[in-house]
Chains A and B, each alone.
Chain A
Amino acid sequence: MSGFPVLTLLTVLPLIGAAIALMSGKHARGVAILTTGACVVLALFVWTQLPANGSIGLVEVHKWAPSLGIEYHLGVDGLGALMLVLSAIVTLMSVDAAHRVHHQPGLYFGLVLVLESGLFGSFTALNFFHWFLFWELSLIPAFFLIKLWGGTKRGPAATQFFVYTMAGSVALLVAFLAVFVATRSMDFQHLTLLASTGELEQMVTSHLGPVTMWLAVGVLAGFAVKVPMFPFHTWLPAAYAEAPSPVTMLLTGAMSKMGVYGLLRIAVPLFGHQIAQMRTPLLVLAVATVVMGAWAAAAQKDLKRVFAYSSVNHLGYCLLGIFALAVPYSLGDAGQLASQAAALNGVILQMFNHGVTAAALFWFVALLQQRTGGHRGIDDFGGLRKPAPVFAGLMGIALFSSLGLPGLNGFVGEFLIFRGAFSLAWVASTVSILGLLVTAAVILTVIQKVFSGSVPEHCKGFPDLHTGERMALAPVIGLMLLIGLLPQLIVDSVNPTVQNLLAHWRF
């Protein structure tokens, strides 16, 4: 299909904006808001252009370096388009929240926009070279955003972030080199096709020996760091806590989804059989992520760390859903297919919903910090319901969404995941319920400690949200309610993609 190259435009637009922002100095934020706003519009446009049957649409193909199997191949299906919309929205939120960047704002917003471009690029790429390029491209701005504008312990936090992610990337790269050696192809669609007939494994074995399992491990390791999955998660709390809150919004809202997206686009389609063979240990790790994330969140005193670990917990549900559905196809078990579809739908929804919710939560934390002169401990606040009812109300909605209250968007994804996972892996699902319970406890504790009780000294005179902030936050909260009440707005477009994906995956 050779229509207007929308996806290229979407990827390039933030880069142009970044170049302008770098030179704009004080007005960089304005430039960034304009650019991200345009990207949101464009992403929504892409969302509307999806083919109805769930296959890849808006394809752009050009030869790049044929002897190396490198092609300029872009395309989106429901999953990819949803991620584009999410990234655009989260970036807009992040830019909106960052209205007190005094030090080198041009550089700050330039880096944020480059990061957004990296996100768009990796969600639309269908060739490994292109995808890896943008995967790495997003790493550098993130590193510098933490390093230059972060909190007191930003150095080690940025270092850990960098080292872990790079190590994961190298594992990915080496594994993909092996795949290239065996198949001479770097195209995700082509490789998925090869994997679905079992040819991929044959080619790998004949060229390199019985190393397919190792390659699968390598690829999984690369993504496990990014999601993150226990025990590769140790970089996350420090990075999230030390990064300035608007950057944390980006990290948790969009960047973590790159990991899950990678699992769905690359790891599972290519190495489904291997994943199915490793299913039990993987499920254990997923459950550990869920439970550990929740327990750790309960133990934190710093609000940012609470929400950081809570993110780990929420993404653990995605992992649970993915690994749960990795069961070989058994003829005549229609229920299995339905469960798999439910789980996968849930995973994708959870990606979107968690992204929006978590970003909103960190936005509120940012507001808390600004209004109280830098405090963000869980015990530093109290009784904010009285001086700032609107604030409390909106933040409360976001918190309840994170908890998974029905009627809000957080519920839908988790519900679908459990619905699918229960019939496919009931032990794991049961244990994960613990996570749900503990999360609930954590959220309620936060609500209680922040909004009720006596008001400490530094919070007296806590101003409520002013109009600008209300106008910025209201759509986000509104979105949470909308998706929570009318999830079919998303599911209707995502489900065909889910069916399409499942049809091509071989366990």
Chain B
Amino acid sequence: MLAWTIYLSFAGALIEALLPKGKAMHARCLALAVSVAGLAIAVSGFIYGMGRGRVVLIDVPWVPTMGIHYLLAADGISRVLVLLTGLAAVAGVLFSWNIEFRTNEFFAFFLALIGGVYGVFLSFDLFLLFVFYEIAIVPKYFLIAIWGSTRREYAAMKLALYSFVGSAMVLIGLLAAYAASGSHSTGLVALGHANLPVSSQMWLFPLVFVGFGILAGMWPFHTWAPTGHVAAPTAASMLLAGVVMKLGAYGCLRVAIGLFPHGLDPWGFSFIGVGSWRDVFAVLAVVGIVYGALVALAQTDFKFVIGYSSVSHMGFVLLGLVTLNQIGVTGAVLQMFSHGIIAGLLFAIVGRIVYDRTHTRQLAELETMHLSKRLPFAAWAFVVAGIASMGLPGFSGFVAEFQVLVGAWIAKPWWTLAAGVGIVVGVAYTWRATQKAFFSDKLPTPEEHPKTGWPSFAAITWPEATGVALLAGVSLFVGLYPRILLDAIEPAVAALLAGGGR
């Protein structure tokens, strides 16, 4: 049933491409219908899967001589991430409602990207996972190159090449693992049981982890992310930061940690406090958290602030993954979901609601525009999104970051302290951006000077309001009732860490 999310998305993409040009509303409605259908399937699949472990959706031999199967399955982690994709897809369509230029092609690429993402999260055959992973690269390029803004061609090419290089590294790892395990099968479960020698795992693990980590925005391979997010059109930024970066993190978890767990073992020697790949990647994750936050603090372009904040938040995900304990990894998966929603919301406000009306993203210019009066919806929506992004309790980010920090405490306390610094700086840059963009001190209060009749902006449209309500509502709901996702994630994480039945 969940597999239909993939098929519907690709079918929708194909039909969009064939739609006659000039009828933008048809394209939008079709895209909305497909994405809502995908979300509905994701939700029903999630509910159906509650309490069940891994459910195989379809298992058909694809290339029998090489042991490659078209194998789709879903465990708790997959279901949660499929749910995220559904939400991000619907929100993305809503926030792209105003696109008039080559609308049907836009939604064709959009739905193709969504289909690829669904495919990655549902694949349980490594080859198939890789195929879907690569399928997602090309639509990204075109979405940014055609409909983007600042330096879009450069950003699109950079993004495509970085992703491709990352996937090339993964391909090498995949081929090596396949060959080393006797070339019988590419199923994740089978490869997981193959028990590759530790020496192989020692170099396969970092190779594949870095390969996926590039897409997850791991420092120092993150440089594509801020440029790409800024250049991309709103819906693409939402998807990029919200879902596509999670593909990388998911790959790190499912493939790198799942198949090469011994790659994280201690090396036997220690070099400036680093004694295993686990330490290395923990350091990189923490650096990413703090570096991303500090750089975000210094930005003058609103969207860059959000772009760097994505790097910082993904650092939390990676840190949670390398803690290798139940609570840390659960927190990482929850953070994937939470940040996906929140990043989508932030980009939607900055891109669609503010930029499309004010035509500037420079904080210095926005300061003079008195947006808290002229765009109160945007101001207050951003306050809510900012609160969620800071990780204040009541929203999903708090529970996720809390779990990651606890997991880090258990693993190595100094990781927690460094990450805590990141949280504090996160508060600072979020607050700074909110203040500068919406609640600047530079303007008089209405008590001091009466209204001088500033021109008003275009009204908030229903798709924008719906999108904001959807995303903010989900984050709030998960923040207040995290159990609904935790009950699905925890057993899956336990199974993955235990090694059996991956």
Asked if A and B touch directly (CB within 8 angstroms), the answer is yes
CA distance A64 to B410 in the complex (A): 23
Interface hub of A152, A162, A166 (most chain B Cβ within 10 A): A166
A-B contact count (CB 8 A): 77
A486 interface residue (CB < 8 Å to B)? no
A148-B445, A167-B424 known; A174-B406 Cβ under 8 A: no
Whether the pair B393, A208 counts as a contact (CB closer than 8 A) is no
The residue that B393 contacts in the complex, of A64, A103, A133, A152, with Cβ under 8 A, is A133
Interface contact A177-B399, CB-CB below 8 Å: no
Distance (Å) between the CB of B323 and the closest chain A CB?
A: 12
Chain A residue numbers with a CB within 8 Å of B417 are 174
A103 to B423: give the CA distance in the assembly, Å. 34
| Given A65-B482, A65-B483, A102-B447: A140 and B387 interface contact (C-beta under 8 Å) | yes
Query: Chain A contacts of B416 at CB under 8 A?
Result: 174, 177
Q: Are B402 and A68 in contact (CB under 8 A)?
A: yes
Please tell me if B392 contacts chain A, counting CB pairs below 8 Å: yes
Q: A153 — nearest CB in chain B belongs to which residue? A: B441
Q: How far is the CA of A144 from the CA of B481 in the complex (A)?
A: 27
Check if B387 sits within 8 Å of A64, measured CB to CB: no
Chain A residue, CB-CB nearest to B403 = A68
- Which residues of the partner chain A approach B445 to less than 8 Å between Cβ atoms? 103, 148-149, 154
Task: Flag if B393 contacts A132 (CB, 8 Å).
Answer: yes
Most B CB contacts (10 A, CB to CB) among A65, A102, A178 go to: A65
Given A102-B447, A181-B410, A208-B413, A166:B427 Cβ within 8 A: yes
Min CB gap B489→A, angstroms: 10
Is A380 positioned at the interface, with any CB of B under 8 Å from its CB? Answer: no
Q: Is B105 an interface residue (CB 8 A)?
A: no
Nearest-Cβ distance from residue A38 to partner chain B, whole angstroms: 24
B423, A170: Cβ atoms closer than 8 Å: yes
Q: Are A208 and B402 in contact (CB under 8 A)?
A: no
Instruction: Return chain B residues, CB-CB under 8 Å to A147.
Output: 439
Contact with B along A352-386 (1 / 0, CB 8 A): 00000000000000000000000000000000000
**How far is A144 from B439 in the complex, measured between Cα atoms in Å?**
9
Query: Given A67-B486, A140-B387, does the pair A162, B431 have CB atoms closer than 8 Å?
Result: yes
A125-160 near B? 1/0 per residue, CB < 8 Å: 000010011001100100010011100101110010
Complex-state Cα separation, A144 to B410, whole angstroms: 37
B49 at the interface (CB under 8 A from A): no
Given A162-B431, A208-B409: A177 and B402 within 8 A (CB)?
yes
- Contact yes or no, B405 A177, CB < 8 A: yes
A422 within 8 A of B: no
Residues of A with C-beta under 8 A to B446: 102-103
Given contacts A166-B427, A170-B423, contact A148 B439 (CB under 8 A): yes
Give A66's nearest chain B residue, CB to CB: B483
Task: Say if the beta carbon of A232 comes within 8 Å of chain B.
Answer: no
Q: What chain A residues lie within 8 Å of B392 (beta carbons)?
A: 136, 140
Q: Is the CB of A178 within 8 A of B409?
A: yes
Quick one: CB contact mask for B466-502 with A, threshold 8 Å, 1 for yes?
Answer: 0000000000000001110010001000000000000
| C-alpha spacing A308/B420, complex, angstroms | 32
A170 touches B482 (CB 8 A): no
The answer, yes or no, to whether A415 is at the interface (CB within 8 Å) is no
Contact with A along B284-321 (1 / 0, CB 8 A): 00000000000000000000000000000000000000
Q: Is the CB of B424 within 8 A of A170?
A: yes
Q: Which residues of A contact B427 (CB under 8 A)?
A: 166, 170
Instruction: Give residues of chain A (144-203) contacting chain B, Cβ–Cβ below 8 Å.
Output: 144, 147-149, 152, 154-156, 159, 162-163, 166-167, 170, 173-174, 177-178, 180-181
When chains A and B are docked, how far (Å) is the Cα of A84 from the Cα of B435?
33
CB <8 Å contact, A136 and B394:
yes
Cα-based distance from A140 to B394 in the complex (angstroms): 12
Q: How many residues of B contact A (CB 8 A)?
A: 36
In the docked arrangement, what's the CA distance between A252 and B423, Å? 28
Q: How far is the CA of A149 from the CA of B372 in the complex (A)?
A: 13
Q: A-facing mask of B417-448, CB < 8 A → 1, else 0?
A: 10010011001100100010001010001111
Smallest CB gap from B447: residue in A: A103
Q: Is the CB of A177 within 8 A of B409?
A: yes
Which residue of the partner chain, among A149, A163, A177, contacts B406 with CB atoms under 8 Å? A177
Give the CA-CA distance A144 to B379 in the complex, in Å: 12
Residue A181 contacts which of B393, B406, B428, B483 (CB distance < 8 angstroms)?
Answer: B406
- Which residues of chain A come closer than 8 Å to B402, judged between CB atoms? 68, 173, 177
The CA-CA distance from A162 to B392 in the complex, in Å, is: 13
Q: Which of B431, B439, B483 contacts A64 (CB 8 A)?
A: B483
Q: Could you say which residues of chain A place their CB within 8 Å of the CB of B405?
A: 174, 177
Chain B proximity of A8: nearest CB distance (Å): 13
Residues of B within 8 Å of A178, CB to CB, are 409
Contact of A65 among B406, B435, B486 (CB under 8 A): B486
B409 to chain A, nearest CB (A): 5
Which residues does chain A contribute within 8 Å of B327, judged by CB atoms?
A: 67-68
User: What CA separation (Å) do A66 and B483 show in the bound complex?
Assistant: 8
Q: In the complex, what residue of chain B is closest to A131 when comparing beta carbons? A: B393
Contacts of B383 in A (CB 8 A): 140, 144
Q: How far is the CB of B444 from chain A (nearest CB, A)?
A: 9
Closest B residue, CB atoms, query A132: B393
With both beta carbons as reference points, the residue of chain A lying nearest to B439 in the complex is identified as A147
Residue on B nearest A180 in the bound complex, by CB = B406
Question: What is the bound-complex CA distance between A163 and B416, given in angstroms?
Answer: 21
A108 to B413, CA, bound (A): 43
How many angstroms from the CA of A177 to the CA of B220 in the assembled complex? Answer: 29
Within the complex, the shortest CB–CB distance from A109 to chain B, in Å, comes to 16
* Cβ A137 vs Cβ B394 within 8 A: yes
Query: Do residues B482 and A133 form an inter-chain contact, with CB atoms below 8 A?
Result: no
Knowing A102-B447, A181-B406 are in contact, say whether A68-B399 is a contact too (CB < 8 A).
yes
A-chain residues with CB within 8 Å of residue B330 when the two chains form the complex: 67
Point out the residue from B410, B428, B490 that lies within 8 Å of A67, measured CB to CB.
B490
Taking a contact as CB atoms under 8 Å apart, the answer to whether B394 and A133 are in contact is yes
Give every chain A residue within 8 A of B413 (Cβ-Cβ).
208-209
Closest Cβ of chain A to B429, distance in Å, is 12
Which among A65, A137, A156, A209 is the interface contact of B399 at CB below 8 angstroms? A65
> Does B394 lie within 8 Å of A155, measured CB to CB?
no
| Minimal beta-carbon separation of A299 from chain B (angstroms) | 27
The minimal Cβ–Cβ distance linking A180 to chain B, given in whole angstroms, is 6
Report the Cα distance A112→B330, complex, angstroms. 37
In this complex, what residue of A is CB-closest to B419? Answer: A174
Q: B-contacting residues of A (Cβ < 8 Å)?
A: 64-68, 70, 102-103, 129, 132-133, 136-137, 140, 144, 147-149, 152, 154-156, 159, 162-163, 166-167, 170, 173-174, 177-178, 180-181, 208-209
Q: List 8 A-B contacts (CB under 8 A).
A: A68-B327, A140-B392, A148-B439, A154-B441, A155-B441, A173-B402, A177-B406, A181-B406
Taking A70-B482, A155-B435 as given, write out 10 further A-B residue pairs in contact, using a Cβ cutoff of 8 Å, ordered by the A residue number: A64-B483, A66-B483, A68-B403, A103-B445, A136-B394, A144-B383, A170-B423, A174-B416, A177-B402, A209-B413
Residues of B within 8 A of A (CB): 327, 330, 372, 383, 387, 392-394, 399, 402-403, 405-406, 409-410, 413, 416-417, 420, 423-424, 427-428, 431, 435, 439, 441, 445-448, 481-483, 486, 490
Shortest Cβ-Cβ A-B pairs, 8 listed:
A155-B441, A133-B393, A181-B409, A136-B392, A65-B483, A103-B446, A65-B482, A174-B420
